[in-house]
Amino acid sequence: MTTQTQEATRYPVGGSSLITVRCPADGRAVGTVPDMTPAQVHEVAAGLRSAQLEWEDLGPAGRAKHIRRFLDWVFDNEDRLIGIMQEETGKSWGDAAVETAVVVDTINYYTQHAAGFLADRRVKRWGPTALTKNLRIFTRPHQLVGIITPWNGPLATPIIDGIPALMAGAAVLFKPSEVTPLTWTEATRGWIDEVKAPPVMACVTGGGATGAAVVDEVDMIQFTGSTATGRKIAARAGERLIPHSVELGGKDAMIVLDDADLDRATSGAVWGGLWNSGQICVSVERIYVQDKVYDEFVRKLTGKVKGLRQGMDPDGSYATEIGAMATERQLQIVERHVTDAVERGASPVTGGKRTSEGLFFEPTVLTDVDHSMLCMREETFGPTLPVMKVRDEEEAIRLANDSPYGLAASVWSGSAERADRVARRLETGAVNINSALTATMLLVLPMGGWKSSGVGGRNGGAAGILKFCRQQAIVSERFRLKSEPFWYPYVPRTSRLQARLMRLVGAHDWRRRLGLRGRK
């Protein structure tokens, strides 16, 4: 296993205390970063602002060159980056390795498409005012974008928003989680010291206070994390009147109908619910299975979960599937949900407890669950699969929608029409049919939570980059006119004629068009 002790000294550290990062698998200290003060955040932000204009002037093609070189650097350092990530998260090697795939996909997508997404746009005329005008939209980035991220995806989460923000021409101030700051600190060092790209991305480290200082510095804030923190950030962004996009928690439901392919559905549940030890916002958190196939589903699911290997496996070995929980606090939430469920009558068919060493929680299948239990109502963010029997589609939809969250869901059925019918009635920002987690990985589709799962969204083709931009409406002359029809002075005859024309063109029936009815 790679041992990395990171002393993050790239940015001003005077006066900061240090945060020690520990490996969840064995408690080893694997690095330290400064707990940066608001004054230090301000200093970093000022540096980014001074570099931004030159970056914007490079244009999409110029910016893409640097970002592609950064991708080369990620490829050249892939195992080392996965090693750092594994040490600070306790993930299995395979789970950690998926994050570099996200880097590749995101960089290639936005570097190829940004020029088209950001190009000046001509707009089709509408209305009498536009008759004499040319209409266009210019796009300019927000100068400084802040990106605050949680601990579950230390490489992938900064990337999925950071790359479109950089490609838009913004400078980006990142604040990774204090639990897992090492991977992104190293990625930022690579950008500056090894890729020698312009100093338009920086990483400040620290806890909530450092994050709050980021919100106070930037022109647009992109936040990924818990709903509780998201509310605070949205409130502060509202006070500052800066745009914000907050991607928050979820309680994703999986609905298995009686015509589903149960082999596929159970494999999907295992991966969709237990990938990254269930510590992913769009994880399958609760499963509703139609009564006719319930027993067979539980039997197949349990068999597959029992076959999983747990632990933090050696570099490049792909020897385990399920890694550790990132923090003791998160592990305790999982324990509390399982204990609560069992006390209220649920049965842990497999798993159900923490292991003796490290922050591992056994992959767990719970049956006999209902909505009185925490595991069906609150975000667990752990390796648990609670399965509930339902009568029919109606009951499944009602229970799936019985949640304050609305991030994503999945529907499993042999009938495309039936699956669509159920999907349309789910109150979530995405629905995967016969798959799990997939919509989140598709940059061409929007990813945004409904209800308490977020405001705004990410990805979605052009929308994924335009959210980091300001749009400028440009109205220019189509003909050279001395005056405009509505300009002063009012001339009674002309103004009356204009009013008649407005009726003629704008009313929906002939009597009103001709002024024969509708006047009081």
Specify the residue, 159 or 298, whose C-beta has the smaller distance to ligand NAD. Answer: 159
State in angstroms the smallest separation of the CB of 514 from ligand NAD. Answer: 56
State in angstroms the smallest separation of the CB of 262 from ligand NAD. Answer: 28
Query: Is-catalytic flag, 362?
Result: no
User: CA torsion 410→413→417→422, rounded to 10°?
Assistant: -40
Specify the residue, 60 or 211, whose C-beta has the smaller distance to ligand NAD. Answer: 211
Provide the angle, in degrees to the nearest 10, between the axes of the packed helices 182-189 and 78-89.
Answer: 150
Q: In this chain, which stretch among 218-226, 301-309, 345-353, 364-372 interacts with ligand NAD, using CB under 6 A?
A: 218-226
Catalytic residue among 99, 247, 285, 362: 247
Q: CA angle, corner 295, sides to 292 and 297, nearest 5?
A: 90
Q: Which of 10, 42, 232, 418 binds ligand NAD (CB under 6 A)?
A: 232
Site for ligand NAD contains 252 (CB under 6 A): no
Cβ distance 1 to 86 under 8 Å?
Answer: yes
Q: Which of 24, 83, 150, 311 binds ligand NAD (CB under 6 A)?
A: 150
The SS3 call for residue 388 is: strand
Q: In this chain, which stretch among 146-154, 335-343, 501-509, 511-519 interacts with ligand NAD, using CB under 6 A?
A: 146-154
What does the block give as tokens for 294? Answer: 């319930």
State in angstroms the smallest separation of the CB of 501 from ligand NAD. Answer: 51
Strands 133-141 and 405-406, by their bridges, are unpaired
Site for ligand NAD contains 34 (CB under 6 A): no
User: CA torsion 161→162→167→171, rounded to 10°?
Assistant: 130
Q: Which residue has the tokens 């950064």?
A: 70
Is 258 exposed, middle or buried, given 0-12, 13-18 or 19+ CB atoms closer than 10 A?
Answer: middle
Cα 161 to Cα 152: distance, rounded to the nearest angstrom:
15
Specify the residue, 233 or 373, whose C-beta has the smaller distance to ligand NAD. Answer: 233
Q: Which of 250, 311, 382, 406 binds ligand NAD (CB under 6 A)?
A: 250
Cα 363 to Cα 382: distance, rounded to the nearest angstrom:
8
Query: φ, ψ for residue 155 (rounded to 5)?
Result: -105, -45
Site string for ligand NAD, 343-382 (x = CB under 6 A): ------------------------------------x-x-
Cα 216 to Cα 494: distance, rounded to the nearest angstrom:
53
Cα 223 to Cα 243: distance, rounded to the nearest angstrom:
11
Q: Which of 413, 51, 471, 198 is nearest to 188 (CA)?
A: 198
Q: In this chain, which stretch among 78-86, 204-212, 269-277, 354-362 interacts with ligand NAD, using CB under 6 A?
A: 204-212
Contacts of 497 by beta carbon, 8 Å cutoff, 6+ apart: none
Q: Which of 11, 55, 151, 297 binds ligand NAD (CB under 6 A)?
A: 151
Specify the residue, 172 or 197, whose C-beta has the smaller distance to ligand NAD. Answer: 172
Q: In this chain, which stretch among 184-192, 206-214, 300-308, 477-485 interacts with ligand NAD, using CB under 6 A?
A: 206-214
Q: Which of 225, 268, 323, 348 binds ligand NAD (CB under 6 A)?
A: 225
What is 153-185 written as a DSSP string?
A: -TTHHHHHHHHHHHHHT-EEEEE--SSS-HHHH
Q: Which of 63, 66, 142, 175 binds ligand NAD (CB under 6 A)?
A: 175
Residues labelled catalytic: 247
What is the contact surface with ligand NAD in residues (CB under 6 A)?
A: 148-152, 175, 177-178, 207-208, 211-212, 215, 224-226, 229, 232-233, 247-250, 281, 379, 381, 407, 449, 454
